[in-house]
Structure 1
């Protein structure tokens, strides 16, 4: 541990594991294990959403000796095999893939959902118009509700525990800055921000926006980090994971 009552969280998103990646991630997971107490993965575990890529990840994770907690991303849903991918990865010892659930690891509460798009602040899409548009917005609403329930469960079962939220999509516009504005509605939704603020989450990790910005906050209160592997590399991280001590 980094210090008394401290837990070191290593966070990264968008691994995009491919079938050809066998052996490429061993050093990464070994390094993480030396420097952190928990590894958080923020979606897009696989590149094309194929279960064979999930099996590659499981093999690579054998070099990881610390608990792993994560969420799935849009790439993991590409072939509608996300449930199978989740099952395969969770079969590895000490891995938790959250989908509206919460888990306590090393004294820290983790709540996780994939999240969804919809846009930010005054430019959020509304529940109006065609059925397809209403369904799009409803998906974001439901993801925010699942997140709120997971955080509520932590509050009910573990009073005063420090909470971390894992997402794939961003809850704020600030950490997707750098991406084309035209695609902001597909990078996240402010609907995710409300439960994070109300439930007094300490820090949020997300990915998805590969050329976004590393750091932001919800109303200056809740820290938000875009830990997409591509963003971390751009920010100068030799080993693309972000360390946070809680």
Structure 2
């Protein structure tokens, strides 16, 4: 932590680590370790949710010498090996937030993956076919898990870590037809019931870097593909 008592957080999502891609994050993780106090990963850590991809990421994370906090994304579920992927990533020292909170140097981190569902008056309602009701139920369940995580935070400074977007602002730039699949306003409604200082998410690769919840909490899309003030794949935030 810096002498001013503020924590410098590097946040990045959508690494999409592949088996035979050849891309290495070692130098990037080493760079982040020199300038930040904590690294936050906002999901889609692997490309297809394969255990081997998780093992590659775990090896790359050895070059990161600061605490790492994160959530999983939809890609991490693709192959049906999410429990094994989760175990490998946790064994690498990542504190995965699955509806829990953790406090590091006076900042509380509360996180869930989140889910789709749409935004504002276009948010999907629980009506009609069982498949639609199941989708809405999943969205509501993730929101409840986020609320439970935020209730665990005792620090005056809290950051919410998501994969899916909680607001429309930060998905702007994506095709409007897919907005409902990029996040849900239900997440923002929950966030605004707590004194959250910042929200980070990924998922929307062609989205916009910053926005706000209706209650005014700053939201940052830190997908590695999104242009950020740092000019790097990660954002730097201070809490």
Which bin holds the TM-score, normalised by the shorter protein? over 0.9
The superposition leaves residues 29-84 of structure 1 with CA deviations (integer Å, 9 ceiling, x where unpaired) of: 00000010000000000011101000000000000000000000000010121121
Partner of 1:206: 201
Q: Which runs of 5+ in 1 are unaligned?
A: none
Aligned pairs for 1:171-190 (under 5 A) are: 171-190=166-185
Q: Does structure 1 conserve the Cα–Cα contact (< 8 Å) formed by 2:156 and 2:195?
A: no
Q: Distance in 1 between matches of 2:87 and 2:21?
A: 20
The superposition leaves residues 138-171 of structure 1 with CA deviations (integer Å, 9 ceiling, x where unpaired) of: 10000000000000111xxx2x431100000000
Q: Distance in 1 between matches of 2:10 and 2:234?
A: 6
Q: Distance in 1 between matches of 2:123 and 2:169?
A: 14
Instruction: Report deviation, 1:21.
Output: 4.8
Residues 222 and 236 (structure 1), Cα distance of their counterparts in 2 relative to 1, 3 Å cut: closer
SS in structure 2 at match of 1:198: coil
Q: Distance in 1 between matches of 2:100 and 2:80?
A: 20
SS in structure 2 at match of 1:83: helix
Q: Which runs of 5+ in 2 are unaligned?
A: none
Q: Does structure 2 conserve the Cα–Cα contact (< 8 Å) formed by 1:44 and 1:75?
A: yes
RMSD of aligned alpha carbons: 1.3
Instruction: Report deviation, 1:88.
Output: 0.4
SS in structure 1 at match of 2:102: strand
Partner of 1:243: 236
Q: Distance in 1 between matches of 2:114 and 2:147?
A: 12
Aligned pairs for 1:48-59 (under 5 A) are: 48-59=48-59
SS in structure 2 at match of 1:96: strand
Q: Distance in 2 between matches of 1:79 and 1:186?
A: 19
Structure 2 residue 220 is the aligned partner of structure 1 residue 225: yes
Aligned pairs for 1:108-187 (under 5 A) are: 108-154=107-153, 158=154, 160-187=155-182
Q: Distance in 2 between matches of 1:132 and 1:109?
A: 35
Partner of 1:6: 6
Instruction: Report deviation, 1:202.
Output: 0.8
Which one has the bigger helix percentage? Answer: 1
Q: Distance in 2 between matches of 1:85 and 1:150?
A: 22
Q: Does structure 2 conserve the Cα–Cα contact (< 8 Å) formed by 1:100 and 1:112?
A: yes
Consecutive aligned runs of 4 or more in structure 1 exceeding 2 Å deviation: 1-4, 20-23, 235-239
Q: Distance in 1 between matches of 2:177 and 2:171?
A: 12
Instruction: Report deviation, 1:208.
Output: 0.2
Deviates more, 1:175-184 or 1:78-87: 78-87
How many residues align structurally?
Answer: 239
